[in-house]
Amino acid sequence: MSLPPSPAAAAARVPGAALAVVLAGVSAALHLGKLPPAVPALQATLGIGLVEAGFLLALVQVAGMTLGMVFGLLADAVGLRRSMLAGLVVVTAASVLGGWVGAAGHSGPRAVHWLLALRALEGVGFLLAVMPGPGLIRALSPPNVEKKALGLWGAYMPLGVALALLLGPALIAWGGWPGWWWVLSAVSAMAAVWVWLVVPSDRRLRIAQAMPSPSRWSARLLDTARSAGPWTLALAFAVYSSQWMAVIGFLPAIYADAGVPAAWNAALTALAAAMNIVGNISGGRFLQRGVAPERLLRWGFVVMALGSVAAFAQIGPGSAEGLPPALRYLAVCLFSLAGGMIPATLFMLSVRLAPGPATVSTTVGLMQQASSLGQFIAPPVVAWIAHRAGGWQWTWGVTLACSLAGLALAARVAPGRARTGTAA
């Protein structure tokens, strides 16, 4: 293991150790995205109902919604590398045990209870694995590629979810849902080995970056809670992720209602989710080239608002039709792509607007907690509006409100940067 080269000697590419951190995040996100394609198989083999399937889908968000800052504090306290490795080990073990529940032929309430408990454990592992990501990337990347690397980190969630949506159906057909669980456990295990091999120890990272040892957890919590910057980032993340999840999460249902064949439905949804990855990577490149973060946030929220209106709004009073289907799908893709610039920017700002180096993971934890809360609240609101309206044509009202709130928060980023004395 070796420390990253000096900025003068480093090429303008992301170091291998930082790439290992990004792919570790992707491997953890695969475990979040593995359940939706497996729901039909779980219903067929275990006899679970839609309510139980909903609990399986929501448990990870509940963990993030209630424990985000706690695990951010824990990551800062135990060490960033150590926290990521522990999280990958936890999701790997939980997925192995989950596959065993299915392979052993268990069924009925007992099997469902085991899966619920293991899903909650996966949520804990996920938080431990992803909280230290931005702090590790900042420590591992020379200044001339730090923003690009953080842009890549911003893509870990949509990349993991899109890969799960694309690969899950085929692998479940090949090896059943237990085989799908085991394949992903092997992926996260390999990611843990790679991080262990190439990422320097927490002590070496602190020495190389001249970072102070983490202070007491109460001091870090108070520093984070008293600072305006982390709250601005957290609220911006919430209004972004809530509307993205509400739209992308309901695309399969929207296309099913429209009579789109199942195979096309899965492909179109996965492609729309994958466009978010392009936005994340592009956001990192724009930041690296000197585009102001608040400008990227404004672009992202404006295009998300326009894209959702174009995708869902009716053409005129009394009309039951919107734009042609191809243009509406293009609008959804632009909504997802432009939105991808927002997490890339927020993760970059998290290492600058955190009260200090020892509170980066705590700041990310607050962002994760707000994001999970938004994702927990927005989809039911959109579903309720669709139920009352008899269709999805008023979805744009929720996304527009979120985007307007995001624009107001983006206006607060520049003063926050000035107060911290950091450059964009």
Report DSSP letters for 145-212, one per residue.
THHHHHHHHTTHHHHHHHHHHHHHHHHHHHHHHHHHHHHHHHHHHHHHHHHHHHSPPHHHHHHHHTPP
Print burial letters for 342-378: b (CB count within 10 Å at least 16), e (below 16): bbbbbbbbbbbbbbbbbbbbbbbbbbbbbbbbbbbeb
Distance between first and last Cα of the chain: 31
Q: What is the largest CA-CA distance in the chain?
A: 66
In this structure, of 1-10, 130-139, 216-225, the range with the lowest mean pLDDT score is 1-10
Tell me how far apart the alpha carbons of residues 388 and 383 are, in angstroms, rounded to a whole number: 9
Q: Which is more confidently placed, 376 or 401? A: 401
Distances (CA, A) of 1 to 6, 187, 196, 197, 210: 15, 22, 9, 7, 19
Tell me how far apart the alpha carbons of residues 398 and 246 are, in angstroms, rounded to a whole number: 9
**In which element (H, E) is residue 9 found?**
none
CB–CB of 51/178 below 8 Å?
Answer: no
Burial zone of 259 (CB within 10 Å; 0-12 exposed, 13-18 middle, 19+ buried): exposed
């809360």: which residue's tokens?
Answer: 373
Q: Work out the average pLDDT over 378-399.
A: 81
Tell me how far apart the alpha carbons of residues 113 and 28 are, in angstroms, rounded to a whole number: 22
Q: Does the pLDDT at position 288 exceed 70?
A: yes
Nearest to 307 by CA among 334, 284, 285, 329: 334
Write down the pLDDT at residue 418: 38
User: Which range in 148-152, 284-288, 329-333 is most confidently predicted, on average pLDDT?
Assistant: 329-333
Report DSSP letters for 85-136, one per residue.
HHHHHHHHHHHHHHHHHHHTT--HHHHHHHHHHHHHHHHHHHHHHHTTHHHH
Write down the pLDDT at residue 7: 38
- Render pLDDT for 296-349 as a digit per residue (tens, 0 to 9): 999 999 999 999 998 888 644 444 566 788 888 999 999 999 999 999 899 888
- Render pLDDT for 27-59 as a digit per residue (tens, 0 to 9): 999 998 888 788 778 877 877 765 666 667 666
What are the structural domains, with CATH classification, of the chain?
Answer: 13-214 (1.20.1250.20), 219-424 (1.20.1250.20)
Burial zone of 85 (CB within 10 Å; 0-12 exposed, 13-18 middle, 19+ buried): buried
Nearest to 13 by CA among 283, 288, 276, 202: 288
The predicted model scores a pTM of: 0.76
Q: Quick one: pLDDT band at residue 380, thresholds 50, 70, 90?
A: confident
Q: Does the pLDDT at position 216 exceed 80?
A: no
Tell me how far apart the alpha carbons of residues 184 and 334 are, in angstroms, rounded to a whole number: 30
Q: Work out the average pLDDT over 267-287.
A: 87
Write down the pLDDT at residue 180: 94
Distances (CA, A) of 239 to 60, 297, 338: 19, 12, 14
Burial zone of 307 (CB within 10 Å; 0-12 exposed, 13-18 middle, 19+ buried): buried
- Render pLDDT for 71-121 as a digit per residue (tens, 0 to 9): 777 777 788 899 999 999 999 999 999 999 888 766 667 778 888 889 889
